[in-house]
């Protein structure tokens, strides 16, 4: 049996991405080995998010949210509370779709639970949902 350990996310600017994942999602930095490339490891409950500086990586080019494209998801027991936190940070579903703080919000949908999608500074798509 396997269990997920971490998600690795490439960035071209750790000074942009690290505060995003700390401030928006409340993740905190944990010790990381002294790899030859820059990065940071963040705790997410018992799992981890690894930010890796990799300028030659495959970066998304379109600054819009496509929820059918590659993404990863955080789950929450307080979907409305997360929406309030994001709104306080300037995120909104009413912003133009190419705005860095634009979100897609689905309170009900085919998945059977609420979902929202936003982008990190490197245009990676992040889902937050209220899955059971």
Q: List the domain boundaries for the chain.
A: 6-53, 71-129
Q: What dotted CATH number matches 6-53?
A: 3.10.180.10
Question: Which tens digits make up the pLDDT trace of 51-87?
Answer: 999 989 888 888 899 988 889 999 999 999 999 999 9
Question: Which tens digits make up the pLDDT trace of 5-42?
Answer: 999 999 999 999 999 999 999 999 999 999 999 999 99
Cβ count near 93 (within 10 Å): 16
What DSSP assignment string belongs to 49-97? Answer: EEEEE-TTS------S--TTSSEEEEE-S-HHHHHHHHHHTT-BTTS-T
Q: How many residues does the chain have?
A: 132
Q: What dotted CATH number matches 71-129?
A: 3.10.180.10
Q: Residue 118 is encoded by which pair of tokens?
A: 């936003």
Report pTM: 0.91
């Amino acid at each position: 049996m396997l269990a997920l350990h971490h998600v690795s996310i490439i960035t071209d600017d750790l000074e942009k991405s690290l505060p995003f994942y700390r401030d928006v999602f409340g993740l905190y930095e944990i010790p990381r080995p002294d790899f030859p490339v820059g990065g940071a490891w963040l705790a997410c409950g018992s799992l981890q998010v690894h930010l890796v500086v990799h300028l030659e990586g495959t970066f998304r080019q379109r600054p819009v949210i496509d929820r059918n494209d590659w993404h990863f998801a955080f789950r929450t027991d307080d979907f409305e509370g997360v929406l309030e936190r994001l709104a306080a940070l300037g995120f909104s579903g009413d912003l133009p779709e190419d705005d860095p703080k634009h979100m897609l919000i689905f309170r009900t949908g085919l998945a059977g639970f609420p979902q929202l999608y936003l982008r990190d500074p490197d245009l990676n798509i992040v889902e937050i949902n209220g899955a059971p």
